[in-house]
Amino acid sequence: MKMVRTIKGTHDILPAQSGDWQDLETQIHKTANLHGYDEIRTPIIEDAALFNRGVGEETDIVSKEMYSWIDKDKSTISLRPELTAPVVRAYVQHNLGGQSLLQRLYYIGPSFRRERPQKGRQRQFHQFGVEAIGSDNPEQDAEVISIGWNILNNFGINELELNISSIGSDDCRTNYKQELINYLKPFIPQLSEVSQHRLKHNPLRILDTKNKDEIKIIESAPKIENFYTKEDETYFLTVQQYLDDLEIPYKINPLLVRGLDYYTQTTFEISSKKIGAQDALLGGGRYDGLIKSLGGKDVPAVGFAAGMERILIATDSRKRTDKQVACIYIVCTDLSALGPLQQIAKNLRELDIKVILETLRRSMKAQMREANKKNANYAIIVGEQEAIDKTVQLKNLNEGKQDTINQGELIAYFKSLTF
């Protein structure tokens, strides 16, 4: 029969890799908790309207990449392409703002975008992120950026590059957009079809072009910083000041344009030289209008999300800091002893010792080989004679020493040991 395989752009996380995923998740939980953030989990499927309104109908993410379908009750449902809009929906729906003026939230989970798959770009990928909802002060931006920076750093990714920008307030952007359109109009015949479309619907995205001819045109385009209001300028400078205080190096990149519509003021991305600047490990920014536009109060917010697959690619040469868990392999060739040995295994696990019990009924030699393969520290060996004597051969697999011990004394023996 023909084998069924994973869908294009999706991947299994196999046992050989899942340890790295668990390490990364541990680092995320730890760093987020140390900064006072609580975890939130939202559904993978949402009403499509959430992303149309939240992320923006004209964005590539929503218009080209989102998986949506009409359900049996005729409602349109989407697989989430990101988690900011869902987190804000949950914030509004459960009135989290009523519980606390500032909600510091973080999440880990899969997202879906129908992109052309390549290394570090999947159709199902995993994001973790934080969203701080409630503060409109620049120290909140700096805190959020520093959490992302710390997680990547603590996970051993070096050569990190933080790019920051400000796209200013609504007033600033409205004025700037108009100037940019005026500047670009004479170049329309030279612009790609995509950029011509963007000029009409989302002109700022043209700044992010990878097309060499367009990059030349953009070089002389008006710069957004000339359109900042006094408050925009002070705000952005204060964010920079706090990053200096936190000793986080950054580059100001006025051409940084994020692909989601909800941003205001500060935006940022972190990339690593290892994976290339074009594919950010992490991206985010301030989104002060989103909560209101999704039916909530006029509450400011800032956050980021990071791609976990990309982080793991950027760390693939890392030596795993595998905490050696104490492990015992129970080798048994006499079935009459299996019952008592299962009892012993249960008691050992209650001591937080990892115990693997043979269930394939292999030969003594094959079981011992398996114990070594599993990096067990000890083998508890029971053959015909030990089953009769109610003893075990206890072999220290690191030192090669072997002793006979009564089955009834095993638990006390391991209790007295520190691995």
**Which residue's C-beta sits nearest to ligand HAM?**
307
Binder of ligand HAM out of 113, 173, 205, 395 (CB under 6 A):
113
Binder of ligand HAM out of 303, 341, 378, 387 (CB under 6 A):
303
Binder of ligand HAM out of 20, 23, 82, 214 (CB under 6 A):
82
Does residue 80 contact residue 51 with C-beta atoms inside 8 Å? yes
Binder of ligand HAM out of 51, 304, 378, 414 (CB under 6 A):
304
Smallest separation, CB 108 to ligand HAM (Å): 12
Interaction residues for ligand HAM, span 227-266 (CB under 6 A): 259-260
Checking 208-213 for CB contacts under 8 A at 24+ apart, the result is 208/255, 208/256, 208/257, 208/259, 210/278
Determine if 163 is a binding residue for ligand HAM (CB under 6 A): no
Write the DSSP assignment of 181-217 as a string of letters: HHHHGGGGGGS-HHHHHHHHH-GGGGGG---HHHHHH
Question: Contact letters (x/-) for ligand HAM, 34-73, by CB under 6 A?
Answer: ----------------------------------------
Structure tokens at 66: 């989102």
Closest CA to 243 of 149, 157, 175: 149
Determine if 122 is a binding residue for ligand HAM (CB under 6 A): yes
Determine if 84 is a binding residue for ligand HAM (CB under 6 A): yes
Element (H, E) at 252: strand 251-252
Smallest separation, CB 121 to ligand HAM (Å): 4
Binder of ligand HAM out of 172, 281, 332, 410 (CB under 6 A):
281
Binder of ligand HAM out of 143, 232, 288, 309 (CB under 6 A):
309
Smallest separation, CB 240 to ligand HAM (Å): 19
Does residue 59 contact residue 259 with C-beta atoms inside 8 Å? yes
Element (H, E) at 365: helix 364-373
Nearest-angstrom CA–CA distance, 265 and 285: 8
When the beta carbons of 129 and 300 are compared against ligand HAM, the nearer one is 129
Binder of ligand HAM out of 145, 224, 305, 332 (CB under 6 A):
305
Binder of ligand HAM out of 53, 80, 205, 310 (CB under 6 A):
310
Exposure string of 31-65, with b = 16+ CB inside 10 Å and e = fewer, is bbeebebeebebeebbebebbbbbbbeebbbbeeb
When the beta carbons of 60 and 386 are compared against ligand HAM, the nearer one is 60
Does residue 172 contact residue 226 with C-beta atoms inside 8 Å? no
Closest CA to 308 of 108, 161, 58: 108
Nearest-angstrom CA–CA distance, 209 and 195: 8
Question: Contact letters (x/-) for ligand HAM, 282-301, by CB under 6 A?
Answer: xxxx-x--------------
Q: What is the end-to-end Cα distance of the chain in Å, rounded?
A: 48
- Binding site residues, ligand HAM, CB under 6 A: 82, 84, 113, 115, 120-122, 125, 127, 129, 131, 259-260, 280-285, 287, 303-307, 309-310
